[in-house]
Amino acid sequence: MRNLFAFIYRFRAFLIFVLLEALCIFLIVRYNTYQGAAMFNSANTYVGRVLEFQSGVTDYFRLASVNSTLAQENAVLRQQLMYYRQEADADSTDQLDTTYYAVSDSSKSEPFILHAGRVINNSVRRTNNYLTLAAGSLDGVKPGMGVISPNGAVGRVKTVSRHYATVTSLLHSQMLISAKIKKNNTFGTIKWTGGDYRTALLDYIPLHIKPEIGDTVVTSGYNTVFPEGIMVGTISEVERELDKSFYTIRVKLAVDFAQLSYVYVVENPRRPEQDSLEHEAGILPHE
């Protein structure tokens, strides 16, 4: 027995090394996966505070670009508002006949709810990139919600604390987004394979479709994360490889991930219903 203890004592450094590495590998496998939620991450209150302080300093250097994005977004919103107002003015069907009742499309009746959030931590150059938002469960953010910016789809909320949220960016090696080519509604999957943060791949577009450079790619709305028709990017390269039954399509992303300042977390009020229905029907949720 004493020999055993002596042996352990002699190799204590190596044993502790092995123990710590095993712990690290456990952490990596357990928490670094796409779905896995970690106890310690940048949504942690104290970590969030440090990141908020940092972004409070660095944001001053980006005020000009932040302002111009917000102004642009305002302009687009005003334009849309004007359009709807004009349409409402011109449309007087509900006043024509008091006995006629027009049934509205029920799927349009419940809109998506947007929660604005400031990006306080962001990365674009790693293999797996995350964002941290200064918006948490108190603001209505929940894990699994989609995140969009004025320009397009950004990612998906991973974990949430009271005041902060960690978002898996679209620039994550395991992040998949269901998307479609707007022109002909062919749907595929958007996937980022690393390297340049401005381009991603659009997979599973069958060969009988004729995608062209410049075609718009938007979210499909087949899952409950993103609303339909959120911009993803434009096709920049179409390649047909002989040994594959799908095109290799490169998409230039609409969002400049290096310049993100304000984003919106999308809440789908009908999500629990759709998810539980699909779950009951035995359909696995596709990302």
- Could you give the CA distance from residue 43 to residue 126 in angstroms, rounded to a whole number? 19
Q: What is the CA radius of gyration of the chain?
A: 24
Kindly state the number of chain residues that form the binding site for other proteins, as judged by CB under 8 A. 39
Among 6, 25, 138, 283, binds other proteins (CB under 8 A): 25
196, 76 Cβ separation under 8 angstroms: no
Per-residue burial over 27-47, b if 16 or more Cβ lie within 10 Å, else e, is eeeeeeeeeeebeebbbbeeb
- Could you give the CA distance from residue 163 to residue 47 in angstroms, rounded to a whole number? 11
Among 38, 66, 176, 238, binds other proteins (CB under 8 A): 38
CB of 17 to other proteins, least distance (A): 4
Among 16, 75, 213, 277, binds other proteins (CB under 8 A): 16
The window from 6-14, 66-74, 112-120, 235-243 that contacts other proteins (CB under 8 A) reads 6-14
**Beta strand 199-203 pairing with 113-122:** unpaired
- Could you give the CA distance from residue 226 to residue 218 in angstroms, rounded to a whole number? 10
Tell me which residues in 93-122 interact with other proteins (CB under 8 A). 121
130, 167 Cβ separation under 8 angstroms: yes
Nearer to other proteins, 56 or 272 (CB): 56
Burial of 283 (0-12, 13-18, 19+ CB in 10 A): exposed
Does 24 bind other proteins (CB under 8 A)? Our answer is yes
Nearer to other proteins, 32 or 65 (CB): 32
Tell me which residues in 153-212 interact with other proteins (CB under 8 A). 166, 173, 194-196
Nearer to other proteins, 7 or 83 (CB): 7
The window from 23-31, 142-150, 178-186, 270-278 that contacts other proteins (CB under 8 A) reads 23-31
Site residues (vs other proteins, CB under 8 A): 12-14, 16-17, 20-21, 23-28, 30-32, 38, 40-42, 44, 47, 50-51, 54, 58, 121, 123, 125-128, 130, 132, 166, 173, 194-196
